Amino acid sequence: MSDLAANLRLLAWLSPAFPTGGFAYSHGLEWAVEQREIADADTLFGWMSDVLGHGAGRSDAILLRHAHRAAGDLDMLAELAELGLATAPSLERRLEAAGQGNAFARAARPWNDTLLAELAARGGDIPYAVAVGALAGVAGVAEDFATSGALQAFAANLISAALRLVPLGQTDGLAVLARLEPVMLAVASETRSATLDDVGGFCFRSDIAAMRHETQYTRLFRS
């Protein structure tokens, strides 16, 4: 029953209804759509596969796993938060990670009103991946389940943005999400043994998209 309760908590935290403001971010995808690099379900799948496997999806999974393991160590969590912000390749990516992480920390206090509050009281922003990993670790959510769930929520959020931008139908979006399952499971498996030296990636086109989005003339999203 304790495992079931822990998993219910994670489902609540990763729900689109949880007030992190994730719907306001496109992770640079808005610029890619404007440049016609993402124009249909196939190009969206290719873009998302790379971001998950070689970009922020993979790095966030590593940070989340290490935050989960360090859930009782505020000093280590503070270091992970600094690393997560320092590795953001652009201002908007940093604001995206910090904005969602800080919002998550505030909204999740009914489940734990001490851990994330004490971490926030140290004066720094908390990246979303670190906040989710730390709280999942304290709440007894299995590390693998938390990691795979966060990857799925990340992918679903960007697909939701694509539905509004490309535009795509919901059936196409769900088909892309289903095609991404093997990618997400592979990332979850590969990051299980990753060290903090493995944080980073080579999704340069996605990073450039995030930088270009900062000066994009017409925008629906904050990143």
Q: 63 — phi, psi (to 5°)?
A: -60, -40
Tell which CATH classification among 2.60.40.10, 3.30.70.20, 3.55.40.10, 1.10.4190.10 matches the domain 24-213: 1.10.4190.10
d(Cα 82, Cα 160) in Å, to the nearest integer?
29
Cα dihedral sign, 69-196-51-193: negative
d(Cα 223, Cα 203) in Å, to the nearest integer?
16
d(Cα 71, Cα 69) in Å, to the nearest integer?
6
At residue 122, the pLDDT reads 79
At residue 1, the pLDDT reads 45
Could you tell me which of 93, 121, 92 has the C-alpha nearest to residue 106?
121
Tens digits of residue pLDDT in 90-132: 999 999 999 999 999 999 999 987 887 888 887 789 999 999 9
CA distances from 208 to 15, 29, 55, 205, 219 (A): 29, 10, 12, 5, 16
Contact 57, 187 (CB under 8 A): yes
Give me Rg for the CA atoms of the chain. Answer: 16
d(Cα 131, Cα 116) in Å, to the nearest integer?
7
At residue 3, the pLDDT reads 85
Contact 206, 66 (CB under 8 A): no
Burial letters 43-53, b for 16+ CB under 10 A, else e:
bbbebbbbbbb
Helix axes 204-213, 91-107, angle to 10 degrees: 80
Q: Which residues of the chain have pLDDT under 70?
A: 1
Domain boundaries, the chain: 24-213
- Give the pair of three-digit tokens for residue 65: 């796993």
User: CA angle at residue 151 from 189 to 85, to 5 degrees?
Assistant: 105
